[in-house]
């Protein structure tokens, strides 16, 4: 069963006292669930690898990963019959340019979490009582 009740406020609230450790766990679990739902061979990179590559690239890789994450959510949603809006480009624009007004990253994270919850709900309903498809 894929988790379908992720919330932005939990991410923010629990990340503050844990000094960001909950944030790492949150994104790790989200990517793990997305990879479980994804029927294509293209999988989202493990979040621990993303952190390492982000340190090496001074944070640039995390922006690329975020775009790719939003794209995979949209593609997985399309595979199970739901349309995901806004797309990865708009989500990345919110994250990049919204940083200047300080609310953009929160909006972008909200959009990704909301879309992931939609896809997870549909996936859980579709595969409830059915055997899971074999990954390629």
CA distance 9 to 14: 8
Write out pLDDT tens, residues 71-109. Answer: 999 988 888 889 988 888 888 888 888 777 888 889 999
Q: What is the mean pLDDT of residues 11-20?
A: 94
Instruction: For the chain, give the longest Cα–Cα distance.
Output: 47
CA distance 30 to 38: 12
Give the model's confidence band at 45: pLDDT under 50 very low, under 70 low, under 90 confident, else very high.
confident
Residue 129 has pLDDT above 70, yes or no: no
Look at 122 and 97; give whichever has higher pLDDT: 122
Among the residue ranges 41-45, 57-61, 99-103, 129-133, the one predicted with the least confidence is: 129-133
At residue 38, the 3 state secondary structure works out as coil
Give the model's confidence band at 39: pLDDT under 50 very low, under 70 low, under 90 confident, else very high.
low
pTM summary value: 0.86
User: What is the full DSSP assignment across 54-103?
Assistant: HHHTTTHHHHHHHHHHHHHHHHHHHHTT---SS-HHHHHHHHHHGGGGT-
Q: What is the mean pLDDT of residues 49-70?
A: 92
Residue 127 has pLDDT above 80, yes or no: no
The residue extents of the domains of the chain are 8-126
Are the CB atoms for 94 and 103 separated by under 8 Å? no
CA distance 108 to 113: 9
Per-residue pLDDT at 134? 56
Residue 56 has pLDDT above 60, yes or no: yes
């Amino acid at each position: 069963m894929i988790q379908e009740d992720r919330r932005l406020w939990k991410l923010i609230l629990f990340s503050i006292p844990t000094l960001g450790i909950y944030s790492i766990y949150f994104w790790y679990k989200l990517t793990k669930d997305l990879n479980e739902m994804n029927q294509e061979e293209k999988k989202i990179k493990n979040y621990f690898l993303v952190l390492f590559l982000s340190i090496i690239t001074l944070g640039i890789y995390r922006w690329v990963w975020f775009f790719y994450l939003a794209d995979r959510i949209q593609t997985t949603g399309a595979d199970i019959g739901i349309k995901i809006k806004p797309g990865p480009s708009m989500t990345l624009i919110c994250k990049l340019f919204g940083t200047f007004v300080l609310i953009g990253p929160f909006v972008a994270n909200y959009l990704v979490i909301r879309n992931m919850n939609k896809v997870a709900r549909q996936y859980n309903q579709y595969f409830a009582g059915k055997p899971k498809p074999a990954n390629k």
